[in-house]
Structures are given as C-alpha cells and as structure tokens.
Structure 1
C-alpha cells in the first residue's frame, strides 16, 4: 500500500479486514446471541461517536466496529441492560473519545469497558469462547502481520513466554484455555495504537503478556480464562509507554558507548 494512504481510517479499515476471520468464527459459533450482542454494542458505541461528532466535531471512526467486536466477544454478562450500557459507555468515552478519538487513546477502549464490567460486577459470568476462535485469531494475526499492522516481534515475545509456560506444565495450549489467550492477545494487546512502538519494547510487551498469563494461571485459581487474559492485556498495554522509554534509554546508552 502507498505510504501516503496510511491514514487513521485506512489503518482501521485494514485492521477490521484482518479481524474478519475471528469475527466469522465467533459469530458462527454464537449465532443469533452473538449477532444481537454485537449489534447492541455497535449501537452504544456509535451513539457516543455521534454525540462527540455533534459536540466536538469529532468524526466517527471505523475503529468503533473493532471496539464493539472486542467488547461483544470478551465482556462478561452484565447484570441487566443498564449495567452493560454503562460499562460500554465508560470504555468508549473515557478510554477513547475524550482523548480525541481512535489513534490518540492510551488504552484500547474495549479494554477499559471490559475491565469496568468485570471488576465493577464481579459476580457476572465471563464468556467461554468457542474452540474455533483459536483458528480465527491465528488467521487474524497472520493477516495483520501481512498488512503491517501487527508486530511480529510482539507475537514472538508472547510465543516464547507461552512456550516456556507450556514446558513448565501450565495448560496454555489447552483447547478450552487457548481461545481466550489468543483472542484477547489479538484484539487488545496487538492493537497498533496502544501497543509498544519500539522494536525492543514490542519484544518486552509480548514477553510480559505471556509471562503474566503464566503467572495468573499459576496463582489465580478459580478465575475465568478471559478474566486472566484481560488482566494480562491491561497490564501489558499500561506498561507499553514505559517499555518504549526503557528501550530508547538502552538505545541511547549503546550509541554513547559506540561513539565514546
């Protein structure tokens, strides 16, 4: 693709295209329940985008579809429609729109919304993702790498950490656990806006995500796998700016040694 055509909206469009295999596998498994949940989430997301367009001349973004898909797939079942609307609204507004829209946000709005619903309503059941979502997530990651939207270093770091966890006997490859780990990684950790920007930072963020998954599986007994994966993604994305800063400090230190 021509470099000058990489705008925020073309990035969102190609990212949405990359996620289509994941969306299709999930909708195929969930059928009408998944379709209704996704449509309701889309309405809430774009209602707030319309409000910000009218109040602040902030144009809507295709990234809202990605946000709605991530929330619909990963958010726990809120105890009533008001709680769900409140959680999605909090994530979209506080996680993205107040910063000026997609591309300027610090955290993925879906991460904020899911965390709000999960920690605000601890008794709400977390979803159990279909096994086929694993293949959808792998296909989405492959397409994302081909489009240049997903970092191969971020993926490699996570793969190394999860591989070591598997060698240690942790069930990260269990077909009932792997979907939550891979889907959360694909939708939230690999988001090109909120993931690390430096090469070393991406390696570190991937290692951190996989390492946190291993740690939580070892210590956090009784929690749903999606809850564990969401917590790992939240911490990994929160630390992405710090990892980039440390990577830049390391680069400057190496450069001073070579020049000195």
Structure 2
C-alpha cells in the first residue's frame, strides 16, 4: 500500500496504530508516571492544535498525538511543567502549525521539541528506556512498513548502516534499542523524511552513520541524546538527499537519451 492513496489524517492514524506496540510496552514499564507524562503532553499539544484548527476553520487533527507520544517517551526527565510547556509549544507551533499543519511541515515537530529541550535545558537527564520498549520498536517498524506509512528503504538503509558500523567495531550495541525507538518515532516520519527512492536509502543510512559517529566520539552523552541528535541532522539533510537523487536521475536520463 502507498501512503499517497490516503489523506493526511488516515496516514496519521495508521502511524499511531503502528506505534501501538511501543506505546503499550512503554506504558507497561513506566506505569502511572509514564501515563501522566503522556497525558500532559497530549493536553499541551492538543491545545495548540485545537487553537490553530479553530482560527483557520479546519477540522481537528490527530497528528498532535504522534508528537505528544514521541515527546513523552524521549524528552529529558526532571523538567518542570513550564519547561515542558515551552518545549512542546515551540515544536508544535514553529515546526508544524505555522506551516499549515502536519503534512506541510519540513521537520518533525517532536524532533524540534526534543532539540529545544535538550539545548535549552542541558542539565536535565535524558530517559533510560527499558529494553522491552526497544524490542517493541521492531513490530512498530514492521507495521509501519506493512501499512505503507514508513518507507522500507529508509528502515533498511538505517539497519544496514548500523550493521556495517557494528561489523567495523563501533561500540553501537548499547544504543541499538534506542536507535530503533527513535527510528520509528522520528526518522521514519513520512512527512519529514526523504521522499525519493535513493533519498530514502541515503536518509536511513545517514541516521545510522551519524549515530555511529556519536557513539564513537561523543563521550558522556546519553543514548537518547545521541539518537535524537542523529535524527535531527538526518531530517535536516532529507531535502538535500532528495535533490541529489533527482539530480542523479536527470543525469542518467540525459546520458541515456544523449
């Protein structure tokens, strides 16, 4: 199935359905604390989505749930409610809603939120996600590919890059569970990732290579911090990767017909 056959809300709902295994594993591990964190993120994200939908007379969107889920799972811990409100508000408004809502944005709003919180409050510790949550990323990615809302080439590109770096001796093993979680929540976003075939392969590979680079040289950083930083840089590079893919396609066409 292809995501182009559906409207944006259907794609968002299918993404949410694909992420359910990871959500349930995280809630099971975190209990009431995790549920409260998710509920708070939903309220803040939902407020801004509702406000923009009313101002623009648009129907409500469930895309804010995806942002809230990623932020609740990955945001630094021990932040005050005001700090979380600032971070979620910045990511939701600046990275998504000012562009007209999910589907028109350039970067994943959760990625921008997490970068804002990480850079703005560097003393806050990043979460230590349980191993079962990392294992749950595998069915989440599989369902996303099956539903057609996550690109198989992007997922395989990341997996191959990580496997190659592991084979080369990069100390990536402790980061693999978090790498899968961030791959499912942030990097595989069909809006913020590369859309061409070659671009998708390069986008996934770039995420894996950046994570390996951070693992080898970023001393003292938490696994989630490294994975989120790799996701941010890979997303920023996605338009360039698509441009490279298109330029190569045009070059091949000219050579073939020249």
The answer to whether the superposition gives a TM-score over 0.5 is yes
Do the aligned partners of residues 161 and 4 (structure 1) sit closer, same or farther apart at CA in structure 2, a change above 3 Å counting?
closer
Task: Give the structure 2 partner of residue 17 of structure 1.
Answer: 17
Q: Distance in 2 between matches of 1:171 and 1:219?
A: 10
8 A Cα contact 1:78 1:121, kept in partner: no
- Alpha-carbon distance in structure 2 between the residues aligned to 1:81 and 1:195: 30
Q: 2:18·2:140 contact (CA, 8 Å) conserved in 1?
A: yes
Whether 1:146 aligns to 2:122 is no
Question: Could you list the runs of 5+ residues in structure 2 that have no partner in the other structure?
Answer: none
Where in structure 2 are the equivalents of 1:32-111 lying within 5 Å?
A: 32-77=32-77, 79-111=79-111
Q: Distance in 1 between matches of 2:248 and 2:89?
A: 39
Contact 1:18–1:141 (CA<8 Å) still a contact in 2?
yes
Q: Which moved further from structure 2: 26-35 or 159-168?
A: 159-168
Q: Alignment length, in residue pairs?
A: 258
Aligned pair in 2 of structure 1 residues 5, 245: CA closer, same or farther (>3 Å)?
closer
Distance in 1, Cα, partners of 2:204 & 2:63:
23
Counterpart for residue 184 of structure 2: 186
Query: For 1:146-202, what per-residue CA distance to the aligned partner results, in whole angstroms no more than 9, with x for missing partners?
Result: 11111111111111110111112223233xx22211111110000011110000000
CA contact (8 A) 2:2 2:149 kept: no
Secondary structure in 1 matching 2:131 = coil
Structure 1 segments, 4+ long, off by >3 Å, are 1-5
Gaps of 5+ in 1: none
**Would the alpha carbon gap of residues 251 and 35 (structure 1) be closer, same or farther in structure 2, given more than 3 Å must change?**
same
Q: Which residue of 1 aligns with 2:161?
A: 161
Match in the other structure for 1:220 = 218
Relative to structure 1, the CA distance from residue 140 to residue 252 in structure 2 (aligned partners, 3 Å threshold; closer, same or farther) is same
Looking at structure 2, the residues matched to 169 and 2 of structure 1 have their Cα atoms a distance apart, in angstroms, of 37
Is it true that 1:256 corresponds to 2:254 in the alignment? yes
Q: Does the 8 Å contact 1:58/1:101 carry over to 2?
A: no
2:208 alignment partner, one of 194, 205, 210: 210
Q: CA deviation at 1:4?
A: 8.5
Q: Distance in 2 between matches of 1:88 and 1:78?
A: 15
| TM-score normalised by the chain length of structure 1 | 0.96
Whether the 8 Å contact between 1:159 and 1:210 is mirrored in structure 2 is yes
RMSD: 1.4
Aligned to 1:195: 193
Distance 2:55 2:148 in 1: 34
Q: TM-score, normalised by structure 2?
A: 0.96
Aligned partners of 2:108 and 2:192 also within 8 Å:
yes
